[in-house]
Amino acid sequence: MNNGRRVADVAPSPGPTQAPLFSDDFSDGKSTAWTPSAGIWNICNPSAGAPYAYCATGRYNNSYAGSASWTDYTLTVAVRPVFANSSTGSQGIDILARAQDQNHSDQLELARGKNGYQSWKMWRNTPHGYDFLAGGQVTFVSGTTYWLRLNATGSRFTASISPDGQNFTALGSATDAAYTTGRIGLRAWGGMTASFGPVVVANAAASPIPSPTPNPTTPPNSETPSQADAFVNSAGVDTSFVYSNLAYTTHFPEVSQLLINSGIKHIRDSGPVYDRTYLNTMAMFSSHGIHHSVGMAIGSTPAQVTSALNAFGPANVDFIEPMNEYDSYAKQDSNWVGQIIAEQKMIYNTVRSNPAFNGVAVLGPAFASMNSYALVGPLDAYEDAGNLHTGTCNKNPGTSSYGQNLPGATAHVRTSTMTKAIWTTEVAYDDNSNLTHVCETPDPTIAKFDPRMLAIHWNAGEPRSYIFQFVDKPTKGNPFAYEGLVTANGTAKPQYTALQSMLGLLSDPGPVFAPTTLHYGLAGQTQNVQHTLLQKRDGTYVMMLWLEQPGVVSIYNPTPVAVPAQQVSLSVPGMTTATDYTYDTSKWTLAPQNVPISSGAVNLSVTDAISFVEFK
């Protein structure tokens, strides 16, 4: 605590005249003002000759200070993030305002996805997960100190960042009335090593806060793109070719050809090895480069695991997983937790002990209830990746809606899959218009959502996401039967065509290569603009741009809402050619348009349907 001691030279001023509500530069070598609730905290020197700081070195770390009665205030913190190995997944550093406990707060975050994508976000923390409030792209460097500032005034939160503690640039703002009072907090997660301090809290009126401009300009960025074909390979779809009474069988010629033509190379489908027709179907898809999964029932033996993988051919199998959503059998099996853990260990030990199965990933269990992950507990030692089923209803892929957002769902999985990557093996939109069902989403809206969903999951560090599912499965009384990309009579929907067009444009098969870092700038109306940066083997870059907006009135009213386009400028030094591919929403195919380059920049119109800017 400062306690009248010198505030470090780099400490930001809380305001021109008023003393701060709270300040701590840790110069006394103590952290007595702070109450850790998770992780490993200590006083340290983050670099040679640096002042003392408050450092977090655990995988998930939270610590709190200040008064629970504080209402409107400005929190300014010097933060120094140090990246963990990117293979551990997403990671971040946060400052918290109006923190009531570990599950109730508002927070500003700098995050780095597994694929290197960097962003700032504001979240509402709830007992059920994190609700997204605002966010965008920002570049920060491992081992470099930045000053984060979060102002809470009434229901308005404003975020800004500074390289020196004096000159702040607005990041954005959000409205949240959930919490009106609370302490301050610090957080580091995902294995990121973080140091904090000085920390200053001022009355909200005492700290001038920069206001976001109508056309904020993002400073030049440096970003290493992902391989375009790696993104293509992240797309999967759930199928049910084992059932003889569904369109997968009754319209097999049409459905199978649509799958082969879709550009999707991964299906999640598991049938019995004794069914020769099913084995032949999977072999046929494998011959077209479409690989599949294997699922094992509770009570399976190592011999059955080995037999199943050998029957399908391990080279044709992407992954193996335990029984699907076994927590839904809790009433029938009071020991379901013990059963699923035992099966997971058996599958992992069997597969990993056989070199012939080295190419088969072992996924952890997926559950019907998010709370089941914590009941099962850590499984990292017995899985190669976690397994998530997430509901979407008619919410946009980047929704901040309670109970429907990807970060909130991921947080639940992280109570079981602590460090490994997470695959989403079921994520769905339903276009059912035949029954009264609040989750109905019009096909043209899904055609916008599905490509964005793949991009958002990719930006979050997920190696693979499976859309549920390929073909409608209409059954009596089932309101969730119309989630397919294809109708039950074998006809492609708009969302099928939108995905096929996207994957076709980005397809770039070949050997692994090292993408080249891109230096670029985005300017103009960049609020709510999200992007994914890819590169092809010939050096061509592709930037996917979109507005992450709902596009429907509400969860109870799926009527489409027009989202106004926003004008942005993409600047790349030395850019010589640029083509903008946008969706023709009458057909959901991509139409190219050459865009003029002026002084290394192109002007683009960004909508809630992804556009693909291809440039060199």
Nearest to 570 by CA among 169, 221, 120: 221
Same domain, 375 and 432: yes
Q: Which of 187, 212, 237 is the last residue of a domain?
A: 212
Domain membership of residue 315 (yes or no) is no
Domain membership of residue 556 (yes or no) is yes
- Residue at 286: amino acid letter: S
Domain membership of residue 407 (yes or no) is yes
Here the CATH number for the domain that contains residue 599 is 2.60.40
pLDDT score of 219? 40
Same domain, 519 and 480: no
Domain membership of residue 428 (yes or no) is yes
Whether the ω angle into residue 198 lies within 30 degrees of 0, i.e. cis, is yes
Domain membership of residue 476 (yes or no) is yes
Here the CATH number for the domain that contains residue 26 is 2.60.120.560
Same domain, 445 and 527: no
Instruction: Give me the number of domains the chain comprises.
Output: 3
Q: Which of 506, 538, 568 is the last residue of a domain?
A: 506
pLDDT score of 297? 95
Same domain, 577 and 442: no
Same domain, 415 and 539: no
CA distance 459 to 461: 5
Same domain, 51 and 142: yes
Same domain, 419 and 538: no
At 379 the three-state DSSP class reads coil
240: domain range?
229-289+363-506
How distant, in Å, are the alpha carbons of 194, 519, 536 from that of 531?
Answer: 27, 15, 16
Same domain, 95 and 204: yes
pLDDT score of 324? 96
Residues contacting 169, CB < 8 A, separation 6+: 160, 161, 162, 210, 219
CB pairs under 8 A, 24+ apart, for 588-594? Answer: 588/444, 588/447, 588/494, 588/495, 588/497, 588/498, 588/501, 589/497, 589/501, 590/501, 590/502, 590/505
Here the CATH number for the domain that contains residue 267 is 3.20.20.80
Domain membership of residue 276 (yes or no) is yes
Same domain, 188 and 245: no
Query: What pTM value is reported for the model?
Result: 0.70
Q: Mean pLDDT for each consecutive 10-residue tract of the chain (616 residues)?
A: 33 52 89 91 72 83 94 94 71 94 93 79 83 81 92 92 88 87 94 90 64 39 91 97 89 97 96 87 97 96 97 97 96 95 98 97 96 94 96 77 70 90 93 64 93 94 95 69 91 97 97 92 88 97 95 77 93 95 97 94 97 98
Same domain, 162 and 50: yes
Nearest to 101 by CA among 35, 197, 200, 190: 35
pLDDT score of 296? 96
pLDDT score of 174? 84
Same domain, 36 and 103: yes
Domain membership of residue 9 (yes or no) is no
Q: Which of 481, 506, 531 is the last residue of a domain?
A: 506
Residues contacting 277, CB < 8 A, separation 6+: none
Same domain, 172 and 38: yes
pLDDT score of 198? 93
Domain membership of residue 394 (yes or no) is yes
Residues contacting 335, CB < 8 A, separation 6+: none
